[in-house]
Amino acid sequence: MSTKTDWSADQPIVSIKDVYKSFGELEVLKGINIDVMKGEVICIIGPSGSGKSTLIRCINALNDINSGSIKVKGMEVNDSELDKLELRKEVGMVFQQYNLFPHKTALENIMMAPLKVLNQPIKEVEEKARQLIERVNLVGKESSYPGELSGGQQQRVAIARSLAMNPEVMLFDEVTAALDPETVNEVLLAIKDLAQKGMTCILVTHEMGFAREIADHIYFTDRGVIVEHGPPATFFTEAKDPRTQEFLSQIL
């Protein structure tokens, strides 16, 4: 298929070029360009309604785009011939509202996709799932239902559930925004652990301290455009655009 070009590690694993997206009359993304190298962690920040969720959802084809190009490991996402399964094997996504399957236990939530989507043997899948439970620090909660877990615990199960598919890239859309303050940290720790082990991460977040600590690069969006971007060391101290300065002054 023409949609898949070869990808090698010296090229961006996610490459977003001149992306436009509208919902009806409403233009939400107006020419977005972002390149992410393998193993990089990037944070997208910006006021609510600026199109952050839309952008991140376009990367795994939950939203389609009007023009431009998004490539994940050489796969053109904006192509009607795209094999969505191939894309979704590479890209994991964690949502603000966790979205765990409420009728499945924590362990079953993690096992479901490898079992049903990848048809892997159950023994292997379960072993892997138990390792993931350990990795997100939830040993003892294997057979709890989502309704019996705190927000922070549910979100960590959600992270493990995505990891079970062995993705190359993880997307996080304000994954701590719905949490009680005291459980935010445990989720951030789980993400930090991932990032330090070399996972490519694209995060939308309002946790500026966290962004500063783990991001390789920070993008500030407002009304569908990237206003300013840079590595955290300079981004927070040398923001030039008044919109960035105003946003940072409100949130810091």
Partner 1 sequence: MDVVWEWFQWLNSEHGIKLTIFYDEWDRNRFFGGIWTTIHLSLVCMALSIVIGMGGAWLQMSKFIWIRRIVQGYIQFFRNTPPLVQLYFFYFAVDSALASVTGIEGGVFSSYGWAVISLSFFAGAFNVEIFRAGIESVPKSMVEAADSLGFTSFQVFCYVTMPLAYRVCLPALNNNLINLIKTTTVAYAIAVPETLYISNQIWSDEYNVPEMMNVVWGVYIILVGILVTIMHRWEKSIRVPGFGN
Q: CB-wise, 110 or 190, nearer to partner 1? A: 110
Question: Phi then psi for 96, rounded to 5 degrees?
Answer: -60, -40
Residues between 13 and 52 with contacts to ligand ADP, criterion CB under 6 A:
23, 26, 28, 48-52
Three-class SS of residue 242? Answer: helix
d(CA 82, CA 182): 41
Q: CB-wise, 136 or 227, nearer to partner 1? A: 136
Check residue 251 for interaction with ligand ADP (CB under 6 A): no
Nearest distance from C-beta of residue 51 to ligand ADP, angstroms: 4
Q: CB-wise, 95 or 153, nearer to ligand ADP? A: 95
Nearest distance from C-beta of residue 250 to ligand ADP, angstroms: 15
Among residues 53, 153, 176, 205, which is the contact residue for ligand ADP, using CB under 6 A? 53
- Where do the DSSP E strands lie in the chain? 14-23, 26-36, 41-45, 67-72, 75-76, 91-94, 169-173, 200-204, 217-222, 225-230
Interacting residues with Mg ion (CB under 5 A): 53
Three-class SS of residue 43? Answer: strand
Question: Which partner, ligand ADP, partner 1, Mg ion, none, binds residue 165 by CB below 5 to 8 Å per kind?
Answer: partner 1
Nearest distance from C-beta of residue 105 to Mg ion, angstroms: 29
Q: CB-wise, 63 or 185, nearer to ligand ADP? A: 63
Cβ atoms of residues 90 and 72 within 8 Å: yes
Q: Which residues contact ligand ADP (rule: CB under 6 A)? A: 23, 26, 28, 48-54
